[in-house]
Structure 1
């Protein structure tokens, strides 16, 4: 007989009723969100942004679900993400836009990864990569239209466009895209929106006058896809909305389609105990109990992505009840005060999910931590197992 712990046979070792920590990813929600965004967009194409490991949902599963939902292209921040997609067998067009000097552009060009050029120096490196690869680089030229992050400033744009046209004439690049970023797309009516779109249109006209004929002008992120149709041009580029988060303030969402959050972060209570009034809870005793109560330990902490800044404010769901984080969030765990409710070790605890059954959402945790839901999602650590549901098709 095969024996295991303490000499007991396998049949006598009970499986835990719920995982200690888990991020459940609904792939069908991702596909449905992409289909919804594709229906909203006035443009012909939709690039799903899958950077940061698919906003911590899983790079390859998200990419596959997005393509199944109607995405025509995929976007990554760094080349490592683009290479990972190719290694996984993804053949759809992939655009990668953030690279430092000395990047091995030849490797990217050989794998048919589309590249961003922010200025003439970077374009020159891409051209050398194309010469080494023996095939033209596919390039999107980035115009800085007023965010003052990446891209060519208006004074430098004509020089970048002229250099790109020379490289295209030499057969070393194909300029397929012109693009930019909006600074305040999640603030409907902000004056910068009109100003940036005007600069972008001027940049496109300068490129056209120089002889470039890109087919993809793109500036719309999730917020602009949902709320600024005049920004859709040839392609939209949603990120956070893919994962079910609407970045537009609630008071401006009238008439917008509903998106479904794709991630549920959950775990299991590992211990409960009665604590008397006057007990200090967790590190620093930042909270002292006013009355006798039951405390429950949740086995997720800031090493898993739970915000320490949500100490005393974040809420979770156990059974049908909502309970507040009591005391400081620790590295691997935190405590909730469940009063006299019948909560026991092994019970499922939900930190956030779609909100269908009254559980907190990523937006709720963002409010509690004083941040944005983007950070709530992307902070979920690799040590939290991902479990995928649905086919994403």
Structure 2
């Protein structure tokens, strides 16, 4: 009989009902436009396959990823929804994507060459979405190159090599809803769509809007929106008050509780000394798991409905929190410390971490890694409501 391996001492719990709820919120804000749920980077660290299924249950009709490998992972899991991949090398062999019915963005003339060759070699018509650079000045077809690429797309469509699903672009300032650059970008994409339709390309589903634009500028939805961070319950602007529920709760075990005398130093370098006799707890997560060392002395955890501050440096595997002189009677080894989550009980959130780090909450949730296990849960839902998903989702709380 083999020994039982203890569970991971830190974990990211993903509430799939929250993802589904957020998808429904985004569908309402899209005001009739279709919703493409962006599940790139393993669904922003939340788990691409289960999150995709939850988003589709919530009303999304398409999925967006960056790489072809991400798209093929979803196909191999049995997901037959429309999937768009928009980041790959022009030198890549894209035949597997074409054969799997993956929509491919076309950000340059060289990428079009690659996709046309794959269509010829597979004998299958490729579904393509020309990606225009309307002002982000990152990936995308330069507007000066668009007339030539449009001519080629018209010919390739007539020859049965491609189906142009629509045009796409990325906003540069969507998190600043009144920025005039947004209007300029929208006008440019409208112009490109009009030019394509004038040449006989239907371009039925065009899209520009990310989470921020979906929630603040419904007039710019075109035929589809591409929300990402809002799907995971995080406000893309910071003060929208949208009915979003954070889907990820990052937590860790309390490993040990111990008394500390006044003047004693804590953790490497003794950057903090106890100002009085106190009690501290050791938390089983560190920078190898996604607890940034830069947060040393700047983060709180929630244990049993109360917040406690980190003291001393965050280490690779653990950090210490100050429980105060009387908290040792209420906090025990084996308790759960919430590092960030929904903010329930006044607990910390990913947005708080982002503010402390001078970054965005996208980076915070995607940085959870290492030994942190990922547990997908469905809260308060009947098992029959999710039958047939085939992904082994847990029902009930893992906490």
TM-score w.r.t. length of structure 1: 0.92
Q: 1:204 aligns with which of 182, 190, 193?
A: 193
Match of 1:363 among 332, 351, 360: 351
Instruction: Name the structure 1 match of 2:133.
Output: 144
Give the aligned partner of residue 312 of structure 2.
327
Does 2:337 align with 1:352? no
After TM superposition, give the deviation of residue 207 of structure 1 in Å: 1.9
The 2-side partners of 1:382 and 1:48 are apart by: 26
For structure 2, list consecutive stretches of 5 or more residues without a partner in the other structure.
387-399
Aligned ranges 1:214-363 → 2 under 5 Å:
214-250=203-239, 253=240, 257-340=242-325, 341-342=327-328, 343-363=331-351
Q: Which string of whole-angstrom CA distances, capped at 9 and with x for unpartnered residues, describes residues 24-74 of structure 1?
A: 111111111101110110243110011111111111100111111111001
How far off is 1:204 after superposition? 1.5
Counting matched residue pairs gives: 378
List gaps (5 residues or longer) in structure 1.
Answer: 5-9
Q: What SS is found at the alignment partner of 1:295? A: strand
Question: Which of 6, 20, 23 is equivalent to 1:31?
Answer: 20
Contact 1:105 1:130 in 2 (8 A): no
Q: Distance in 2 between matches of 1:59 and 1:291?
A: 47
Cα deviation, 1:90-149, whole Å, max 9, x if unaligned, reads 111111110013212111000000000011111011000111111011000011011101
Contact 2:282 2:321 in 1 (8 A): yes
Tell whether the 8 Å contact from 1:313 to 1:369 is kept in structure 2 after alignment. no
Q: Deviations over 1:259-301 (max 9, x none)?
A: 0111111121101222223333222322233222222111111
**Contact 2:288–2:370 (8 Å) recurs in 1:** no
> What is the rounded CA distance, in whole Å, between the counterparts of 1:206 and 1:3 in structure 2?
67
1:80 maps onto 2:80 in alignment: no
SS at match of 2:166: strand
| Structure 1 residue 357 displacement after superposition | 2.3
**TM-superposition CA deviations, 1:143-165 (whole Å, max 9, x none):** 10111011012112212222211
Distance in 1 between the 2:189 and 2:32 partners? 16
Stretch deviating more after TM superposition (122-131 or 18-27): 18-27
Offset, 1:211:
2.7
Please give the alpha-carbon distance, in whole angstroms, between the structure 2 residues aligned to 1:131 and 1:100: 19
- Residue from 343, 358, 361 that aligns with 1:373: 361
CA contact (8 A) 2:297 2:312 kept: yes
Counterpart-to-counterpart distance in 2, 1:311 and 1:258: 32
Runs of 4+ in structure 1 displaced over 4 angstroms? none
- Contact (CA 8 Å) 2:306, 2:345: kept in 1 or not? no
Per-residue Cα deviation, 1:163-188 (whole angstroms, up to 9, x for no partner): 21121122111111200000111112
365-374 or 28-37: which moved more?
365-374
CA RMSD in angstroms, aligned pairs only: 1.9
Greater CA deviation, 204-213 or 30-39? 204-213
Where does residue 394 of structure 2 map in the other structure?
A: none
Structure 2 CA distance for partners of 1:235 and 1:382, relative to 1, 3 Å: farther
SS at match of 1:152: coil
Task: State how far apart, in whole Å, the 1-side matches of 2:28 and 2:170 are.
Answer: 22
In 1, distance between residues paired with 2:89 and 2:8? 40
1:108 aligns with 2:97: yes
Answer yes or no: is 1:384 the counterpart of 2:369.
no
SS in 2 for 1:125: helix
CA–CA distance in 2 between the matches of 1:234 and 1:88? Answer: 27
- Whole-Å separation in 2 of the counterparts to 1:162 and 1:285: 67
Shift of 1:382: 5.2
- Secondary structure in 2 aligned to 1:317? strand
